Every structure is written in structure tokens, then in C-alpha cells.
Amino acid sequence: MITLNGLCKRYGDRTVVDDLSLEVRPGTVTGFLGPNGAGKSTTMRLILGLDRPTAGTALINGVPYHRIRNPLRTVGALLDARALHPGRSGHAHLVALARGNGIARRRVAEVLETVGLTDAARKRAGALSLGMSQRLGIAAALLGDPEVLMFDEPVNGLDPDGVRWVRHLMRSLADEGRTVFVSSHLMSEMQLTADHLVVIGRGRLIMDAPLTEVIARSSLTAVVVRTPHAGDLSVRLSAAGMRVERPGENEIVATGAAIEHIGDLAYEAGIRLHELRTREASLEQAYQELTASSVEYGARKAGV
């Protein structure tokens, strides 16, 4: 488990991570989202001891990273797929990591097979494509068979098959009871992969909730009702505190209540329904609502 308590990081007068407190629990894929400059990469570096916090603590299984013996056996991480010697082969890179952490050499062959790099293991790292470098970085993260895994944009440079493979890998790791913390800007992929979301903006926590709850809270998530008695039902739903729209004569779009509650109100009033369904927002839509006031580097719209 990863635990952050009042974590802060300042560079001069600029606060990059601001009083961040949360828990990343095992058995779950936790997506870590936020606009560019929100502090996601800095937070991950603080967890891994690559930067020192200005205040607060970042703990892995109750201790800071620098106190973990043979850290690759406890936590595996991919922050920068290109952060390795370009003249060294992928195989040599993993062997060096294994020796430094007391990991059996046979494990190198196992992780290379897992990530699909067995045939490319002897290539120089500098000659690998970005996608192949990502796979090698994932192999390094898996090398010690750790219980905590952290990935920063792990699908960058991967083709669709590679993206799907990473998705299934993340899910399988969480299903084994491991802690999986994944930063990404690909909302569609996070919607397919994550169970839980942590959203930050300008270094501060915006949302820490299950994926389903994040989407359900969006103003674009609504209940669509078709009924020949739309006028009567609209009055009743409005009286119950819901926001009601009438896009068609026999259609209602209601927000502010669960589908079950709307169905119960219609039943109690003896109103016949022809359709009752939830229209969910996408994670991208929910995310944009959450972070609208936290975007620091927004571009102008085309034509403006």
C-alpha cells in the first residue's frame, strides 16, 4: 500500500504538490489523473525517494522508500522508459538490476518473456523503439516480483495490441492482490482499466473515489425516460429536487437521482414507462468537469 500524509513539494515560491493525503490500496488499479503540470510525476518521484518532500510523508507499506531493503522486491516502477544506458542491451540492463537486488538471473528471462522482448533482448537499448523501451521498463518493474507497482504513462508509444496487453497486465496484477498505481492522460484507457481514481490539479487533491462514483457525479450522467405522460412525470421529478429537461414530447432527461428512484416515483404515480435507462458520461467528460479550473497550460481553440 502507498500512503501519502500531507505531502508537499515546493521549488522556490512555486508549490508543485500541495498537502496531498491519500491511500493507494492493494487489489485495485488506481488511476492517477490530472492536467499537465498538476504534480503527478513529482508525486511519484517523491514516493520513490527521487525527490525530497518539503513537508509530509510518502510511505510504501508503512516505511519510506529509502528504508526498504532490496527495494525492487517490494516496489517496481516505470517513470521514464528512456532512462537507461543506450549502449547496453535490454538483457544486460535487467541482469545488472537483478544482481544489485539479489534477484535470481533466471528471473530476467521470465520477465522478458512476459513483456514479449525475448527476441529483442540483445539489442542495444538506444536502438529500441519507444514502445519496446516501454516494454523493457515494465520488465524492470516486474523483475523483483513486487507487491507495489507504479507506472507513469505506460502505454506511450505502444500500438493497439500493446495498449490492450498493458491493460490486461494491470488488471491481472491487481487481481493477484498487488497495489497498482498508474498515471495516464488516456481517459478512454483509464475507463477500461482503473477501479479507483485519484485526480489532482495544481498539486491539490480534487477527487479520490471509485471510477463509477467519479462518472456518476458528472452533470452529464443522467436518466432518460420515455413515457406518454412526460408532463405529469416531469412535475413530480422536479418536485423531488431533480433537474428535468424535455428534449422531446414524450422524453425526459433527469439528473440528480438514481434510476431506481425515478422508476419508483413513476410506479407510485401509476405512470406507464416505455423506456428507463441511464445515460452515463464518459470518464473524459467527467474528468474535464473536475479539472476545468485546474488547467495551467490550455491551448487556444482552433480558429480563435
Return the domain boundaries, the chain: 2-208, 222-279
Task: Quote the pLDDT of residue 304.
Answer: 46
C-beta of residue 127 within 8 angstroms of C-beta of residue 119: no
C-beta of residue 207 within 8 angstroms of C-beta of residue 54: no
Question: Which residues pair with residue 11 across a beta bridge?
Answer: 14
Q: Which three cell numbers stand for residue 176?
A: 493477484
Q: Which three cell numbers stand for residue 122?
A: 540483445
CATH number corresponding to 222-279: 3.30.70.100
Which of the listed CATH numbers 3.40.190.10, 1.10.10.10, 3.40.50.10380, 3.40.50.300 matches domain 2-208? Answer: 3.40.50.300
Alpha-carbon distance of 101 to 103, in angstroms, equals 6
Provide the 8-state DSSP code for 125: G
Question: Which residues pair with residue 152 across a beta bridge?
Answer: 183
Task: Quote the pLDDT of residue 87.
Answer: 86
Pairing state between β 196-201 and 222-226: unpaired
Task: Quote the pLDDT of residue 39.
Answer: 93
Place of cell 485519484: 198
Neighbours of 148 (CB within 10 A): 23
Neighbours of 280 (CB within 10 A): 16
C-beta of residue 157 within 8 angstroms of C-beta of residue 131: yes
Within the chain, residue ranges assigned H as helices are 40-47, 90-100, 106-115, 130-142, 160-175, 187-193, 211-216, 230-239, 259-268, 283-291
Measured in degrees and rounded to the nearest 5, phi and psi for residue 160 equal -55, -40
Amino acid at 260: E
Task: Quote the pLDDT of residue 252.
Answer: 95
Please give the angle made by the CA atoms of 236, 240 and 244, to the nearest 5 degrees.
70
Q: What is the pTM of this model?
A: 0.85
Neighbours of 6 (CB within 10 A): 12
C-beta of residue 31 within 8 angstroms of C-beta of residue 193: yes
Measured in degrees and rounded to the nearest 5, phi and psi for residue 37 equal 85, 5
**In which residue ranges of the chain is pLDDT below 50?**
304
Provide the 8-state DSSP code for 280: P
Alpha-carbon distance of 240 to 258, in angstroms, equals 12
- End-to-end alpha carbon distance in the chain: 46
Alpha-carbon distance of 195 to 191, in angstroms, equals 8
Alpha-carbon distance of 28 to 170, in angstroms, equals 9
Provide the 8-state DSSP code for 182: E
Task: Quote the pLDDT of residue 121.
Answer: 83
Question: Which residues pair with residue 20 across a beta bridge?
Answer: 7
Give how far the C-alpha of residue 288 lies from the chain's centroid of Cα atoms, to the nearest Å: 15
243-262: buried (b, 16+ CB within 10 Å) or exposed (e) per residue?
A: ebeeeeeeebebbbbebeeb
Q: Which three cell numbers stand for residue 20?
A: 496531498
Q: Return the SS3 of 178.
A: coil
